Amino acid sequence: MIRLENLTKHFEVPGKEPVIAANNVSMEVDEGEICIFLGPSGCGKTTALKMINKLIPKTSGKIYIAGKDTDDLDPITLRREIGYVIQQIGLFPNMTIEANICVVPDLLKMDKKKSRVKARELMEMVNLDPNIFLKRYPRELSGGQQQRIGVIRALAADPPVMLMDEPFGAIDPINRAVIQDEFLKLNSKLGKTVLFVSHDIDEAVKMGDKIAIFREGVLEQCDTPDEILSNPANQFIKDFVGTDRALKRLKLIKVSDAIMPFLMTVKSDDSLEKVAEEMRINNAHIAVMVGPRGRARGYITKGEIKGDQRGIVSEYIDPIPGTIHVNDNLHDAVSQMYAHASDWLAVVDDDGAYKGYITQHIIASLLGEAPRKQGDTIS
Ligand SMILES: Nc1ncnc2c1ncn2[C@@H]1O[C@H](COP(=O)(O)OP(=O)(O)OP(=O)(O)O)[C@@H](O)[C@H]1O
Ligand SMILES: [Mg+2]
């Protein structure tokens, strides 16, 4: 969808060496992908973005969008296909929010009524009440609210490509997480191809299908978040992603991908004799007791019933240490384990029904730092 070939930018500075803001950058972003441009301040992220919509002329190299060489397109035609969220938000202070959102559709002489309806829809999508905000001016909005408007203004003409330069930079961490989620949800419906500038590795890991990391105009690595975190290409990338990169990878893996495939459940009135036999046959170390609606009520371990095999399950049961939802990620799971001082958790679905369990050992082995053992144990 977007292909950069040896894209290069030299800024001429009178009396000095030129600044090389992009140095032979080659990369490709597929249709519908979100690619994050990441790197320290001054590494050339904004410059790369602005060359794509011709706000900055390139020195050399090629830019293709949907197979078309952008050298053959005039800037106006090109920008029709590209929504742009600028780094400083850049709402027009003397225009209402509605007029701001409709700037590009109006310039393109799109149907006015339709673009006003669309503006309302977009406001709803980012949780801003159109009845309250459409008639206000930018100064009457908080920084975070203005950034939301900046994003939906870029979406208003429904372009297939979005260039977003630190679109959530002015928002506090809590609201930033909310707006990141909103944007991911929105784009899963809209399917735009997005180039998104950030200098926050956590944001990049969360938002990106791909991450492109730059240093002084050079593209140092462009890969999936998991590849960047597990195989950083060089020391610079390693330092940039941080020493906690293993923990960051946990956010990329869902509980459902780490769940122990084997699941042995028992009922409160099952006899210990029967349970012991089943555990032996299945080589299980733990059996979870479920209630009538499939909820995990407690558990029993092999160790507890080895000697005395009389009685029923409910007499020997320990409470479940903690639960985690199948759709949560392993970062949440590890936090839960520490909160409950447990090395395993019961996994549940929306109805609270027991689906299996995960262990610290499995998580470590998924991160490639410990071999997966047969018959994973719970102590
Ligand atoms: N018009 C210009 N003339 C000369 N140098 C420029 C010009 N615009 C940008 N630069 C230089 O090009 C380099 C890349 O700048 P750019 O704005 O692309 O960085 P960035 O990665 O977006 O940084 P930030 O994270 O701070 O926004 C910097 O060294 C900057 O000083
Ligand atoms: Mg910038």
Residue 182 main-chain phi, psi, to 5 deg? -60, -45
Tens digit of each residue's pLDDT (9 = 90 or more) over 276-316: 888 888 888 888 999 988 899 999 988 877 666 788 888 88
Q: Do 17 and 132 belong to one domain?
A: yes
Q: Do 66 and 112 belong to one domain?
A: yes
Q: Do 218 and 267 belong to one domain?
A: no
For residue 376, pLDDT over 50 is answered with no
198 lines ligand 1 (CB under 6 A): no
Q: Do 208 and 274 belong to one domain?
A: no
- The confidence score (pLDDT) of residue 298 equals 92
47 lines ligand 1 (CB under 6 A): yes
Q: Greater confidence, 123 or 260? A: 123
Q: Do 108 and 240 belong to one domain?
A: yes
Q: Do 214 and 152 belong to one domain?
A: yes
What is the value of pTM for the model shown? 0.80
Arithmetic mean of pLDDT, 340-360: 91
Residue 323 main-chain phi, psi, to 5 deg? -125, 160
- Residues 6 or more apart whose CB falls under 8 angstroms from that of 232 comprise 221, 238, 241, 245
Q: How many CB atoms lie within 10 A of CB 65?
A: 20
Residue that is last in its domain, among 221, 247, 273: 247
Residue 156 falls within a domain, yes or no? yes
For residue 374, pLDDT over 60 is answered with no
- The confidence score (pLDDT) of residue 242 equals 86
Q: Do 135 and 44 belong to one domain?
A: yes
193 lines ligand 1 (CB under 6 A): no
Arithmetic mean of pLDDT, 147-170: 88
Residue 375 falls within a domain, yes or no? no
Residue that is last in its domain, among 247, 279, 302: 247
Q: Looking at ligand 1, which residue's alpha carbon is closest to its atom 25?
A: 41
Residue 374 falls within a domain, yes or no? no
Residue that is last in its domain, among 186, 220, 247: 247
45 lines ligand 1 (CB under 6 A): yes
Residue 376 falls within a domain, yes or no? no
Q: Do 108 and 13 belong to one domain?
A: yes
Structural domains in the chain (count): 2
Q: Do 131 and 161 belong to one domain?
A: yes
Residue 266 falls within a domain, yes or no? yes
Residue 269 falls within a domain, yes or no? yes
Domain region containing 171: 2-247
For residue 377, pLDDT over 80 is answered with no
CATH number at residue 268: 3.10.580.10
Mean pLDDT, the chain, as a whole number?
A: 89
Q: Do 266 and 234 belong to one domain?
A: no
- Taking the centre of ligand 2 as the mean of its atom positions, its distance from the CA of residue 87, in whole angstroms, is 6
Q: Looking at ligand 1, which residue's alpha carbon is closest to its atom 30?
A: 42
Q: Do 230 and 268 belong to one domain?
A: no
Q: Do 190 and 273 belong to one domain?
A: no
Contacts of 121-128 spanning 24+ positions with Cβ under 8 A: 122/152, 122/155, 122/156, 123/152, 125/152, 125/182, 125/186, 126/151, 126/152, 126/179, 126/182, 126/186, 127/182
- The confidence score (pLDDT) of residue 228 equals 93
CATH number at residue 143: 3.40.50.300
At residue 23 the predicted structure's pLDDT band, cuts being 50, 70 and 90, is: very high
Element holding 121 (H helix, E strand): helix 112-125
For residue 356, pLDDT over 50 is answered with yes
Nearest atom (ligand 1) to Cα of 45: 21
Tens digit of each residue's pLDDT (9 = 90 or more) over 196-215: 999 889 899 999 999 999 99
